[in-house]
Amino acid sequence: MEANGFCVENCRAVITGASSGLGAEFARQLAPQAELLVLVARRAEALEMVKKELSGLKAKVLCFVSDLAKDEGRDAVAAFLVENGIKPTLLINNAGMGDYGSFVSSSAEKTRSQIELNITALTMLTHALLPLMERPAGIVNVSSLASTLPMPDLAVYAASKAYVTSFSEALAIELAPENISVCCTCPGPTPTNFSKTAKREDGSDTNRDGQGLLRIPPAQVVRESLAALRHGQACVFPGVGVSIAGRVFRLMPRRLMRMILRRRARNA
Ligand SMILES: NC(=O)c1ccc[n+]([C@@H]2O[C@H](COP(=O)([O-])OP(=O)(O)OC[C@H]3O[C@@H](n4cnc5c(N)ncnc54)[C@H](OP(=O)(O)O)[C@@H]3O)[C@@H](O)[C@H]2O)c1
């Protein structure tokens, strides 16, 4: 059974990674329609700036400072909702980070943080919040076009997003009978703070040739993601170029894909 889709009108949403980029844009697009937004991230000042920008719009906005890469931070979000009697109807698991450069030279700390944030936080926050969520409800998990590719010099990130896509599509089936729509969104390259965070101090990078062809603004990514949620789509690749690329990558024989990626890595 496919879900019917979730309408965000009057929703009570928890948005992770709402202090910049796609998370802040989710907040901007939801604020005129939602009843309540709970914005979560580590940087209090950046969250307050997003909140200020949304003042005067329909939604009441609360900021909650938390490091989601840690168990305590994740537990604190659920505790905050319970203490304040908030029953969310929409969870946007958006917080995430990358790390450009080879796996062998990566810092163990950054690699662990990536797994904690991209995989563990998304999974455990969903697990903790599902019992609190009032039905009908929606969940948007922010994956990536990278989830369809084994990406050299972005290996852990791409693998973590493959997890997000697979997990989300399974949850979409499990939760449809409970009237919860799950939508996994797989953006391509989008101008946010992502690259700044992913770059290492030594300047290591991943091959980003050709990304300009796929780039669309955050506003379009969010608009298409919320439309997919509304229509009960389990997975969306926002933007025409990314949508075509996503389909092609998903159908391509893995051996051919590895050959192309090997050549690309050699040319980097
Ligand atoms: N931009 C792209 O090209 C692109 C493409 C595909 C998918 N995505 C995905 O889109 C999502 C949003 O990224 P973005 O592009 O908007 O990048 P961004 O501008 O760097 O935003 C990342 C957000 O995550 C938050 N965050 C990072 N570490 C955190 C932690 N430990 N605890 C809590 N919050 C944390 C950051 O806030 P604080 O620093 O304040 O904590 C920030 O609000 C990510 O999942 C990313 O993988 C991005």
User: What does the pLDDT profile of the chain (268 residues) look like in tens digits?
Assistant: 567 899 999 999 999 999 999 999 999 999 999 999 999 999 999 999 999 999 999 999 999 999 999 999 999 999 999 999 999 999 999 999 999 999 999 999 999 999 999 999 999 999 999 999 999 999 999 999 999 999 999 999 999 999 999 999 999 999 999 999 999 999 999 999 999 999 998 887 777 777 888 999 999 999 999 999 999 999 999 999 999 999 999 999 999 999 999 998 887 7
- Residue 147 Cα to chain centre, angstroms: 12
Among this protein's residues, is 60 annotated catalytic?
A: no
Q: Sign of the CA dihedral 223, 227, 230, 234?
A: negative
Atom of ligand 1 nearest to the CA of 191: 1
Domain covering 12-267: architecture: 3-Layer(aba) Sandwich (3.40)
Q: Is the CB of 262 under 6 A from ligand 1?
A: no
Atom of ligand 1 nearest to the CA of 69: 31
- Distance (Å) from CA 259 to ligand 1 centroid: 30
pLDDT value for 205: 73
Query: Is 131 within 8 Å of 87 (Cβ atoms)?
Result: no
- Distance (Å) from CA 18 to ligand 1 centroid: 8
93 three-class SS: strand
Q: Is the CB of 142 under 6 A from ligand 1?
A: yes
pLDDT value for 267: 76
d(CA 14, CA 24): 12
Q: Is the CB of 22 under 6 A from ligand 1?
A: yes
The domain spans of the chain are: 12-267
Atom of ligand 1 nearest to the CA of 146: 6
pLDDT value for 2: 64
Q: In what order do the strands lie in the sheet with 137-142?
A: 60-65, 36-41, 12-16, 90-93, 137-142, 180-185, 235-236
pLDDT value for 119: 98
Q: Which of 157, 163, 196, 199 is catalytic?
A: 157
Q: Is the CB of 189 under 6 A from ligand 1?
A: yes
pLDDT value for 177: 97
pLDDT value for 263: 92
Closest Cα partner for 37 from 27, 24, 49, 47?
27
Among this protein's residues, is 161 annotated catalytic?
A: yes
pLDDT value for 173: 98
